[in-house]
A and B are shown apart, each in its own frame.
Chain A
Amino acid sequence: MTVAPEPKGGPPPIEVRGLRKVFRQTTSGQSVVAIDRLDLTIAPREVVAIVGQTGCGKSTFFDLMIGLEAPSEGTLRIGDKSPHADFDHFRGKIATVFQQDRLLPWRSALDNAKLPLELIGLPEDEQRERALAWLNRLGLGQFTNAFPHELSGGMRQRVAIARAFSVQPDIMLADEAFGHLDEVTAAELRDTFLALARESGSTAILITHQLEEAIGVGDRIIVFGKSAKLLADIHVANWPKEQYALLREVIQATLQNNAPDPRLTQA
């Protein structure tokens, strides 16, 4: 069985305006700015890679996108709704693939893939059918009854991808989802993930610290500097494939200097 994307109106655009997130450290009581005045627009169905060094606020941005954190200032809106303030509105509309698979160890692969479908209250038959279809699609048809500890790291991450896609979300988020896998498995899963995201018409946002992954993945690469300030917003289509090595160098220099590299404007 194949999984045909359900007809839908398409994902809404994502608008970020003056977004600021400040945390207060429990021990010292000091304030830490994780995201500082971020402006960003992501069009429907775009595949965007966000790159940045450790501690630049990528994961905070991810939590704000999911709606688990509220902005300290500014707005983050998906369509006309806020993922935090209108939390329930986005049930079944935003899905996530995390760095670790985060499967529930007491559930089989099938039951893990069904989890978000149970949460949105689909009938049991439909849950099973959809989850099975996605597991088959990801090459796990023979392992639907296996528990997570019986699967390899790559297989577990496939289950996590099936779990995320099973709700056919408007927005798909991946937080360094392939970074912990070996290069071959990671490349294979990344390609599968992208193909599925494009086919299902979701807007996909991938957070990564690997430049090759960002260049190979996105329609756009957004480069975060320290305190999540936007250093560069690169449309990959503007760079011919033979200049990808240069693009990599330019992003690297941007990250190192925490300032946009002059060569970016030449593209």
Chain B
Amino acid sequence: MASNELREPVPSFAFPRQTLVSLLVFAAGWEVLSYLAPYLGIPPFAIPSLVKIAKSITVITPIDIVVTLARVIGALIASFVIGLTLAMAMYRSKTLDEYLHPMIRILMAVPVVSWILFAVLWFPGVEFRIGFVLVVVCGPVFLIDTIDAMRSVPRELRHMLQSFRPTTWQFFVKLMLPAIVPTIFTSWKVNISLAIRVVTIAELVGAVTGIGHQLSVAQELFSVADVFAWTIVLVALLFLLEGVVARVEARLLRWRP
């Protein structure tokens, strides 16, 4: 009998015991290092104790979390709408595709830092700057993912629907959009992670609110505990958003075998 057949089925939401163990080992190692730091010639502020980090977490300002979250969600929605609309237009028009595709590729090749500098130089408003950077970074990812997915919809299904003579709108709503839902979710997951990283840098450089700004303040105060605390918040935010997307995905894709 193959060894696979002897294995217990893995529960879909198994408690991550290994994850917990590795985190505990890391925390214990960190704590030991924080006590040993002075003896190792490391400045004490560089490796704060877990208690100090916990204290920093308790004084975190929720408004900065809300601001960053709102910027991320708002920009992702705008990027998705723009990316999807352009993808639909490019799918319909070969000419538009031929003109836009090279531009999109160039946009995607520009480093995030360059976009942030452009935004600071071009636009006066902080919110617009951050929104611009997020949309210009995440929008092309949505666009390329969705247009590639549309082109991968099986010819047989396109042919079937066309034989019933749909309007252009019906063609997208009844076939293309439902067919690319799995890709859309993958794209959202990639872009959430990207947006969290980009918004942090953008806020760090040019904002007076948000988690990125608080990281900048923590750096000025040489407070590694605060940097740690805000980083934990960022990671938690990423997991939270990914969790929400995964729940919606599971619901919308329940038809999958």
Contact = CB atoms under 8 A, between A and B. Distances in A.
Contacts of B253: 106
A115 B174 contact: yes
Tell which of B156, B161, B164, B167 has the most Cβ of chain A within 10 Å.
B164
Given A90-B165, A147-B255, A119 B156 contact: no
Contacts of A67: 165
A43 interface: no
Contact of B175 (A96, A104, A149, A167): A104
Given A106-B178, A106-B255, A149-B257, A95 B164 contact: yes
Contact of B163 (A68, A88, A100, A106): A68
Tell which of A87, A88, A96 has the most Cβ of chain B within 10 Å.
A96
B181 interface: yes
B157 A116 contact: no
Contacts of B165: 67, 87-88, 90-92, 94, 119
Interface in A81-135: 87-88, 90-92, 94-96, 98, 100, 102, 104-107, 115-116, 118-119
B17 interface: no
A14 interface: no
A96 B163 contact: yes
Contacts of B256: 105
Interface in A48-105: 66-68, 87-88, 90-92, 94-96, 98, 100, 102, 104-105
Contacts of A106: 178-179, 181, 253, 255
Contacts of B159: 68, 98, 102
A204 to B, nearest CB: 15
B164 A119 contact: yes
Given A95-B163, A119-B167, A147-B255, 9 more contacts: A67-B165, A68-B163, A88-B165, A102-B156, A104-B178, A106-B178, A115-B174, A119-B164, A149-B257
29 contacts: A66-B162, A66-B163, A67-B165, A68-B162, A68-B163, A87-B165, A90-B165, A91-B165, A94-B165, A96-B163, A96-B164, A98-B159, A100-B156, A102-B157, A104-B174, A104-B175, A104-B178, A104-B179, A105-B256, A106-B178, A106-B181, A106-B253, A107-B255, A115-B161, A115-B174, A116-B164, A119-B174, A147-B257, A167-B164
Interface of B: 156-157, 159-167, 170, 174-175, 178-179, 181, 253, 255-257
